[in-house]
Structure 1
Amino acid sequence: MRVTGIDIGTTSICAVVVESETGVVTDSLNVRNEALLSVCNPWECLQDPDLILTQVRHLLENCIEKHAPIAGIGLTGQMHGILYLDRNGRAVSPLYTWQDGRGDLPYRDEKSYAQALSDLSGHHLATGYGSVTHYYNVINGLVPEDAVVFCPIHDYIALSLAGRETPLIHASDAAGLGLFDLRKGEFDVAVTRAAGMSPEMFPQVAKRNIVLGHTAAGIPVAIAVGDNQASFAGSVATDRGDILVNIGTGGQISVFSTEPSAGTALETRPFDDGTYLLVGSSLCGGRALALLEEFFRRIVRAAGYECADMYPLINSLAEKFADLDNELKINTAFCGTREDPSLRGAITNLGTDNFTPEHFVAATLWGIVDELYDKYASEPSARSLRSVVASGNGVRKNPVLRRMLEMKFGTTVEIPLHREEASYGAALFAMATIGVYPDLDAARRIIKYS
């Protein structure tokens, strides 16, 4: 039996076809997200939702044509952004993506819109969160007149494929919008009213994973889920561990838990069936290594030479990390943190004996690892590990980074055989929802590792 999982990212859209019995990816299709719109303000980041819908339909038609019959469809995507819908379920606005910066604009009392709503609500919010975007739009009269509800992009796609008129969203997406009560499983109505926002404009939240409806061809469409949750489900097999470390352009650590976080270092996000992911993000992550590669390339260029790719040299220098004395220290918070965007990185313990390229490479890699590990270690519920699963090109393309993760966490690090973890996880959620497996835990047992 084959199930399709679709991940609607900001820059690309991916569809995978997964064999439910073996977990093998029969096909993987990836296209560039062409929906970015021209904007009038530098802080805006908008996309055309109906162009995204057209791209998804084309991908899905391709999957069906090549691999029919398809038993079910799962969806995930950028979970903080929103678009507005009318009473017929049609898009009446652009997609305001998670990168939209209107929430950081000054509002009043020297606070931004995001800060003002955070203070009013008691919820930690940031620009790009759907509730912050809507708050700004309400105050500035930018909500379309015929809008009756807003939702994330993948929920709009799921609604459209399933033939629905109103969105019904997973708790993982609801939490990504902000102003969501984890314990009650619903949006904070009192806060939305106090902020001048109609609670009816917030989408309805499902109490369990359900089939939203069927495509015109009769294929069941499962409720969409957040991309962080889909990536975890698509990477971490039930019997392989409790932690996912993703190092790509950014960095993220997700820890499975049966209880919300007891501390402040990790954000609590709903996962599945009353469980949670405790999540910490580094804004720079793998980009720190890209900055170092660019630094080396500029030196080569300044000397009159051209080199298209310095990563082979960086990987070669990284192999020497275990033999280096007087370790250099680099804090890789070059882009700040979610808690304090004004923070910057730092280099310490720099001396005449460690001012070398290999020391800088090793220290950058350790800085990436340390920033994520420190978030995990500061969590009161942190416990002994069975293993760690890692994903993202930062780990796949740098074996030393994998070894450093193993040394820091004191356990083995495994990497999924498939590369498209979020779309794969969406397929697993769909398998559990349509009844191929009794639950998500059972579906996750088909994950294979390299």
Structure 2
Amino acid sequence: MGKYIGLDLGTTSISGLILDTESKAVLSHRSVPNDSEITTSEDKVKGYSEWDIEQMIKLAYSVLSDLADESNQMDINAIGVTGQMHGMVLLDQDNVSCSPFIGWQDQRCNQFFCDEVTYLEAIQEIGQDYLEKTGCHLSAGYMATTLFWLHQNVPESITNTSSCFAPDCLVGHLCGIVPITDPTNAASAGVFNLQTGTWDADLIRKLGLLVTQFPEIKPSCTVVGSVSEETSNIIGIPSGTPVSVACGDNQASFAGSVSDYLNSLLVNIGTGGQVSVFLDKYLPTHELDVRPFLQSGFLLVGAGLCGGKSYRVLRDFVQQIGASVFGIDDTPNLYSDLNRLASEVAAGSDGLRCEPIFSGSRREPDRRGIWEGVSTTNLTIGHMARSLIEGIAEQFTVFYEEMQEIGGVQLRQSLIGSGNGIRENQLLRHVVSDSFSTSLTTPLYTEEAAVGAALSSAVAIGEFNNIQDASRNFIRYNFN
């Protein structure tokens, strides 16, 4: 039994923790806002999402340094890393980052390519015959789609370069090694062959790209390096501390939230959201994403862009009314006010219905949000907030219904909720529970993805036989 650090390189925040597998407790936790976005106002209009990857790594180092100070010289057995599994960074021939991190919210591939066809539509036309192999619908913000856009528009930017995922870039810095990925992250690129466990060279070639532009793949839950002496001097964690290969945040969150894989349904709501179930065998489907899980098995995932990002749209709208109409600029408790007003509205929002897909969906990027059923009695801020929350929850129940229709997915007995959207919004928690007609349970510890990353590092150095054993041993729940 030992102590492990898990680090989550997230969109909104960068978080880390120390967990103790003997006491089954999180001993320390640190989090800092991820304020490294550098997208200009002009580029935001174009749908770009760009981040300073070196600043993200500095923020991650600050979290690790705080954890090292908090550890009081306790021995750290290993470090695990997770983070945004979509998006990419370009590396030059010296494996130094030579581009911003282009994130999962980037929409440049929805620009028109030719003959009123967008880049994404052109890519999807190429990739549709490979869907059963890759398990995912190619979408804007994925590594392969972004590389395709760069190849078509600024080909010189990717000449003599390779690409990597943000969490793998962090591991590379920690260990002083070339960034390496695992299947859970690789699959998020959109060109990973689930059947062979390798990059799909034929699909990559048809996109006009090279396999060498994609990172090397190692098995999940394996050690890929150790903290370098240079990094140790910065973060205060001893050099030689093992570091496991980074894993995708969806899979890490599942491993850090679910103790009984085959009987649980996980709803994770953060900036976006997913509903996930574990499958021990591959189930081909064109309706939902199939993602490799850590070591073995798969996750069947309904991934939406609705979540905290959607609620923020309403928050910003109300804030703008306050500033432009009433001259009120300081509204620090606006989310709490929206939740209070929404709680005063009956379930069903008196007929007001919201589809909170304000930036499109992965399947339909041009789709936009809707409020319908507006009447003289339900056109209030409270009704708008309540209906939006109900719309977020409805998205996940629809995904779960699609899972049932596919076949091969047994009814899950436990509904698990994770992510800050679930933890910090009691009304959303209740609405999700009501939507699934069952009680919702949350893990005892926050930062579930970081917990999953830490557990993956414990598996990597041999404390547990596999990740399922690690989750079963460590995960506990709140039952209030």
The structure 1 residue matched to 2:392, chosen from 368, 388, 395, is: 368
The structure 2 residue matched to 1:63, chosen from 57, 61, 67, is: 67
- TM-aligned CA deviation for residue 182 of structure 1: 1.2
Structure 2 CA distance for partners of 1:138 and 1:335, relative to 1, 3 Å = closer
- TM-aligned CA deviation for residue 304 of structure 1: 7.6
Name the CA distance, whole Å, in 1 between partners of 2:244 and 2:184.
14
Structure 2 CA distance for partners of 1:200 and 1:289, relative to 1, 3 Å = closer
Unpaired runs of 5+ residues, structure 1, are: none
Name the CA distance, whole Å, in 2 between partners of 1:30 and 1:158.
18
* Alignment of 1:253 onto 2:264: no
Given that 2:443 and 2:476 are in contact with CA atoms closer than 8 Å, whether structure 1 keeps it comes out as yes
Letter in 1 for 2:391: G
- TM-aligned CA deviation for residue 221 of structure 1: 0.6
- Partner SS state of residue 284, structure 1: coil
Name the CA distance, whole Å, in 1 between partners of 2:322 and 2:176.
56
Aligned to 1:234: 256
- TM-aligned CA deviation for residue 321 of structure 1: 5.3
> For 1:285-296, what aligned pairs fall within 5 Å after superposition?
285-293=307-315
- TM-aligned CA deviation for residue 228 of structure 1: 1.3
Stretch moving more, 128-137 or 43-52: 43-52
Given that 2:85 and 2:188 are in contact with CA atoms closer than 8 Å, whether structure 1 keeps it comes out as yes
Name the CA distance, whole Å, in 2 between partners of 1:14 and 1:126.
27
Structure 2 CA distance for partners of 1:59 and 1:318, relative to 1, 3 Å = closer
Aligned to 2:448: 421
Structure 2 CA distance for partners of 1:159 and 1:107, relative to 1, 3 Å = same
Structure 2 CA distance for partners of 1:118 and 1:346, relative to 1, 3 Å = closer
- TM-aligned CA deviation for residue 2 of structure 1: 1.3
- Partner SS state of residue 156, structure 2: coil
Q: TM-score, normalised by structure 1?
A: 0.88
1:75-107 CA deviation, whole Å, 9 max, x = no partner? 111122222334543333332322333322332
Stretch moving more, 360-369 or 422-431: 360-369
1:303-343 CA deviation, whole Å, 9 max, x = no partner? 68788234445444444555779644333333332211222
Q: TM-score, normalised by structure 2?
A: 0.83
Name the CA distance, whole Å, in 2 between partners of 1:365 and 1:151.
35
- Partner SS state of residue 361, structure 2: coil
Q: How many residues align?
A: 448
Name the CA distance, whole Å, in 2 between partners of 1:304 and 1:363.
27
Name the CA distance, whole Å, in 2 between partners of 1:300 and 1:356.
15
Structure 2 CA distance for partners of 1:145 and 1:329, relative to 1, 3 Å = closer
Aligned to 1:133: 146
Letter in 1 for 2:4: V
The structure 2 residue matched to 1:389, chosen from 397, 416, 429, is: 416
- TM-aligned CA deviation for residue 63 of structure 1: 2.3
Given that 2:348 and 2:387 are in contact with CA atoms closer than 8 Å, whether structure 1 keeps it comes out as no
- Partner SS state of residue 415, structure 1: strand
Given that 1:314 and 1:361 are in contact with CA atoms closer than 8 Å, whether structure 2 keeps it comes out as yes
Letter in 1 for 2:119: Y
Name the CA distance, whole Å, in 1 between partners of 2:423 and 2:177.
40
- TM-aligned CA deviation for residue 418 of structure 1: 2.1
- Partner SS state of residue 100, structure 1: coil
Name the CA distance, whole Å, in 2 between partners of 1:65 and 1:256.
37
> For 1:48-59, what aligned pairs fall within 5 Å after superposition?
48-59=52-63
Bigger helix fraction: 2
Structure 2 CA distance for partners of 1:110 and 1:236, relative to 1, 3 Å = same
* Alignment of 1:107 onto 2:113: yes
* Alignment of 1:272 onto 2:278: no
Given that 1:240 and 1:387 are in contact with CA atoms closer than 8 Å, whether structure 2 keeps it comes out as no
Name the CA distance, whole Å, in 2 between partners of 1:314 and 1:405.
17
The structure 2 residue matched to 1:337, chosen from 361, 371, 377, is: 361
Name the CA distance, whole Å, in 2 between partners of 1:210 and 1:324.
48
Given that 2:265 and 2:276 are in contact with CA atoms closer than 8 Å, whether structure 1 keeps it comes out as yes
- Partner SS state of residue 394, structure 2: helix
> For 1:140-159, what aligned pairs fall within 5 Å after superposition?
140-147=154-161, 149-159=162-172
Unpaired runs of 5+ residues, structure 2, are: 132-136, 229-238
* Alignment of 1:36 onto 2:37: yes
Given that 1:329 and 1:349 are in contact with CA atoms closer than 8 Å, whether structure 2 keeps it comes out as yes
- TM-aligned CA deviation for residue 447 of structure 1: 1.7
- TM-aligned CA deviation for residue 412 of structure 1: 1.9
Name the CA distance, whole Å, in 2 between partners of 1:349 and 1:272.
44
RMSD: 2.9
Aligned to 2:232: none
Given that 1:92 and 1:144 are in contact with CA atoms closer than 8 Å, whether structure 2 keeps it comes out as no
- Partner SS state of residue 290, structure 2: strand
> For 1:290-439, what aligned pairs fall within 5 Å after superposition?
290-293=312-315, 302=325, 308=331, 309-320=333-344, 327-351=351-375, 359-379=383-403, 380-381=406-407, 382-439=409-466
Letter in 2 for 1:212: V
Given that 2:225 and 2:242 are in contact with CA atoms closer than 8 Å, whether structure 1 keeps it comes out as yes
- TM-aligned CA deviation for residue 11 of structure 1: 4.1
Given that 2:353 and 2:387 are in contact with CA atoms closer than 8 Å, whether structure 1 keeps it comes out as yes
Given that 1:20 and 1:436 are in contact with CA atoms closer than 8 Å, whether structure 2 keeps it comes out as no
Aligned to 2:134: none
